[in-house]
Amino acid sequence: MAPKSLYSLFVGLLLLGAARHYGWELFPQELKGMASKGLGGITVLVLLWAFWWQCKESLLLPLFAWWSFEELQVIVCSGWYMLDPWPVLDGQAICSAKAGVDLGAFGILAVSLLVVLSTCQPLQVRK
């Protein structure tokens, strides 16, 4: 028999996966796409921080902070758009359309900074 903590992990991941892949079906037809996107963001955020909770490696914190910010945008904008839609041009991100600025440019800047940081300090594996 598996340890209780492993069983709890199994159940938690099963519920998370089921919510991600089937939860959008609970929404009206016109909201299913946004619901799926928001549920995907929630899933990534939960898995990301579950991983952090296991490893607690400080080197990963800036990466996880950036990724969390990106997923929070997905979650917040998807939910907000479902409640109060706004005009979005073809090819434009919904968060950027609401903010009136290309938020992706800030994301690319953050990724660039993370790449530079990763080359300045050699990655060390904790033993």
For the chain, percent of residues with pLDDT exceeding 70: 93
For the CA atoms of 41, 43, 47, 53, the dihedral, rounded to the nearest 10 degrees, stands at 80
The pLDDT of residue 124 is above 80: no
Q: What is the mean pLDDT of residues 59-84?
A: 94
33 falls within a domain: yes
State the residue range of the domain holding 110. Answer: 4-120
Phi, psi of 66 (to 5 degrees): -60, -50
The pLDDT of residue 123 is above 70: no
Determine contact, residues 74/84, Cβ cutoff 8 Å. Answer: no
* CB atoms near residue 76 (< 10 Å): 14
127 falls within a domain: no
125 falls within a domain: no
Q: How many domains does the chain have?
A: 1
